[in-house]
Structure 1
Amino acid sequence: MNTRLQRLLTPVAALLALFGLQGCSTLDYYGHLAVGQAQLLQARQPIAQLLADPAVDPELKQRLALAQQARDFASAELGLPDNGSYRLYADIQRPYVVWNVFATPEFSLTPELHCFPIAGCVAYRGFYSQGRARGAAALLKQQGLDTYQAGIEAYSTLGWFDDPILNTMLRWSDERLVAVIFHELAHQQLYVADDTAFNESFASFVEQQGLRQWRTEQNLPAQDPQGEQQRAQFSALVLASRARLEQLYRSGLPAEQMRAGKQAEFARLRQHYAELREREWGGVGHYDGWINAPLNNAKLLPFGLYDQWVPAFAALFAQAGGVWTQFYPRVEALAQLPSAEREQALQQLSAQAQNLRR
């Protein structure tokens, strides 16, 4: 291990040690996280230097220049943190930065939670190595759990480190790259431990509203409503399937009947998708790969988390007069509420948003 990597590992390892982590498997996992994060930090380069270097590929320069424009816009116009995050670049020489492993019981859509010192409890476990992710998923399968692995192109350290633009993010369109910068900075603006739906819905609203303002600023056309409609229709299709599965799992039927009913529901989901694809989308489906791969409970987990409370935050933004500096304190006040009260307040805001649309 080189000297620079050792220096980077020291604050990461010290942070983990503060929480008194015990057990060989736990120490091994957190050691893996510390090394992976340190290697990512080691790979960072200031974007300003890369833009000034004549040897850097012009296409890379163009994407990084766009990222810096969006980064400046995020703080100046959206009121997001003005720090060193996304002013650096790191090429980590792989297609994903981490692989997340989701798991559920065979007859439940309740995720196996994993609790972390900073992020709180979340519905997945992340790995910097795809091999480790596969190994973890295999062990969970041996325990009779449904599992799903997802490659992730970006994540936020919630302001603990200066997060870089990654090579994994540059595969996206210009708009998607800009959107993710807004989304991840929103997590640095505000994050509530143990409430994934709140955190992701808040970041998704900031991303969506931020993109509207970005398009106006850049004189870009409005987002293609057809693509947004397809995403909403597909999400609704999967959420309806989830609801039917939850009803099945509460039925108290014998295991064999529930197992058969589960597979019948996945067949039904595929059939409904095929009908939607032909009826509404002209025979072109952007989700064919997802729907045709093996389905299980764990694969359905991410649906709903990123969108559940977006209408509530939209209503709150309207109450704040569309002013970010007035919006964020209102979100902070929501975050301070006990979990049950916070959910009740979000439900009321969502109802207000629905009434406004009528």
Structure 2
Amino acid sequence: MSRYTDAMMTARNWFALLPALLVCSCGTVKFYTQAMGGQMEIWRESRSNATVLADDSVSTHVKRRLELIEELRAYAASDLHLPTKSFGKYCDLKRPYVVWVVYAAPEFSVEGKKWWYPLVGSLKYRGFFDEKDAVVEAKQLKNKGYDVFVGGVEAYSTLGYLKDPVLNTFLHRSDADLAELIFHELTHAKVFIPGDTDFNEAFATANAEEGVRRWLRSKRDFVTLRKYESERRKNREIIHLMLEARDQLKAVYANSHLDVEAERRAKRQVFEEMLKKALVLRPSSNARGPQGAPGWNNARLNTVATYYTMVPGFERILKQHGGDLEAFHHEVESMRKLDNDERMKILGTPKS
């Protein structure tokens, strides 16, 4: 099927949303219009991996990354039991990120703002194909009193509804990190529960990390495996500090005896302490950012909580199944019929 035919199929998927858009606000219509345009651009510019690999004008670097991705797709299908209809095409967007994502949270709450979307339910972020649109959205939310954070994203999944292409935005990654990204996005097409962002991202993270370990062992690349595991341990230490700070902030916000200014001072102190500890663990870390503690807020902290809070619970379930990925996936899929609180209880995660 030609890429233009695929693009028309994509258009029909988007046009199916139009009846819902007619009853939305102007801002909502504008959001979905930019989303449709951004997705269409990706499909127009995509070419099959085979075509790109046969193109003499394409750099050796791009071809080598595509060859690796083909290897990863094959491994994902045969050994990780993941659907692999995505990543069979390549698109060069000629920019560093595919979308820019806006996170928001009230000034005195660690609970992130949610947006509702057709098909996928509520998510704790809002994505824009143009950075300027993301900045505008963030400013509007900030003016309403929210903590906000805008971050560039190198990849995203359409959850198996569409065949997502390989993007230039993530080809710079190391072999192990590229494998983790590919396995992560393919996992979303395996199991995705509408409206439960934390569950979906933590499952994809746990499954992808395990996939990388198995892939590297299958290649007997134990040097890279040791390096990968070392990086994961360091990352987990930093993440632990951030989740610890999140718990401390919950206590601050629950203290009814603090006035607004005292609450703000306590909030700043929590972030300062978190960053001091992080810089001891990783002196070269960029966690502090150009603004130090003022650059951190509830919204930015939620970018970490979204991906990692439930990961240990998923790792425990995989271990209970003796490392059997199919049994693991089956149990995770069975949680679809439960509500959010029931899933959190199974995963050993306290309700925020």
Identity level (%): 32
Shift of 1:256: 1.6
* Segment of structure 1 superposing worse, 31-40 or 8-17: 8-17
What secondary structure does 1:78 align onto? coil
Runs ≥4 in structure 1, deviation > 6 angstroms?
A: 3-6
Shift of 1:171: 1.8
Show CA shifts across 1:264-294 (max 9, x none).
22222233333x24xxx5x443535388371
Show CA shifts across 1:81-119 (max 9, x none).
132x11110001111000001111111111111011122
Mapped partners of 2:341, 2:77: distance in 1: 32
> What is the letter of the counterpart of residue 285 of structure 2?
G
Alignment of 1:33-52 (within 5 A): 33-52=35-54
Mapped partners of 2:149, 2:234: distance in 1: 23
Quote the residue 2:239 is aligned against: 235
Quote the residue 2:310 is aligned against: 309
Aligned in 2, Cα 1:326/1:273: closer, same or farther, shift over 3 Å?
A: closer
> What is the letter of the counterpart of residue 92 of structure 1?
L
> What is the letter of the counterpart of residue 152 of structure 2?
G
Shift of 1:247: 0.9
Quote the residue 1:112 is aligned against: 113
Please say if 1:261 is aligned against 2:266: yes
Mapped partners of 2:54, 2:7: distance in 1: 29
Please say if 1:223 is aligned against 2:202: no
Alignment of 1:1-358 (within 5 A): 7=8, 10-20=11-21, 21-83=23-85, 85-221=86-222, 222-224=225-227, 225-252=229-256, 253-274=258-279, 276-277=280-281, 281=282, 283-285=283-285, 287-289=287-289, 292=292, 294-347=295-348
What secondary structure does 2:102 align onto? strand
* Segment of structure 1 superposing worse, 316-325 or 71-80: 316-325
Query: Unaligned 5+ residue runs, structure 1?
Result: 351-358
* Segment of structure 1 superposing worse, 106-115 or 262-271: 262-271
> Under a length normalisation based on structure 2, what TM-score does the superposition of the two structures give?
0.90
> What is the letter of the counterpart of residue 255 of structure 1?
V
Shift of 1:342: 2.0
What secondary structure does 1:305 align onto? helix
Mapped partners of 2:10, 2:79: distance in 1: 35
Show CA shifts across 1:39-95 (max 9, x none).
111111100111122332112111110011001110111110132x11110001111
**Is 2:89–2:165's contact at 8 Å kept on the other side of the alignment?**
yes
What secondary structure does 2:205 align onto? helix
Shift of 1:334: 1.8
**Is 2:107–2:145's contact at 8 Å kept on the other side of the alignment?**
yes
> What is the letter of the counterpart of residue 167 of structure 2?
L
Aligned in 2, Cα 1:112/1:215: closer, same or farther, shift over 3 Å?
A: same
**Is 1:5–1:39's contact at 8 Å kept on the other side of the alignment?**
no
Show CA shifts across 1:102-154 (max 9, x none).
11111111111101112211111110000000111111111111110010000
> Under a length normalisation based on structure 1, what TM-score does the superposition of the two structures give?
0.89
Query: Unaligned 5+ residue runs, structure 2?
Result: none
Shift of 1:319: 3.3
- The alignment yields a C-alpha RMSD, in angstroms, of 2.2
Aligned in 2, Cα 1:329/1:134: closer, same or farther, shift over 3 Å?
A: same
Q: How many residues in Structure 1 have an aligned counterpart in Structure 2?
A: 341
Shift of 1:18: 4.9
**Is 1:12–1:38's contact at 8 Å kept on the other side of the alignment?**
no
* Segment of structure 1 superposing worse, 327-336 or 71-80: 327-336
* Segment of structure 1 superposing worse, 88-97 or 238-247: 238-247
Shift of 1:26: 1.0
Mapped partners of 1:329, 1:287: distance in 2: 37
> What is the letter of the counterpart of residue 34 of structure 2?
H
**Is 1:12–1:34's contact at 8 Å kept on the other side of the alignment?**
no
Mapped partners of 2:331, 2:107: distance in 1: 40
Aligned in 2, Cα 1:313/1:270: closer, same or farther, shift over 3 Å?
A: closer
> What is the letter of the counterpart of residue 171 of structure 1?
H
Shift of 1:10: 3.0
Mapped partners of 1:290, 1:4: distance in 2: 46
Mapped partners of 2:221, 2:297: distance in 1: 40
**Is 2:7–2:43's contact at 8 Å kept on the other side of the alignment?**
no
Aligned in 2, Cα 1:167/1:109: closer, same or farther, shift over 3 Å?
A: same
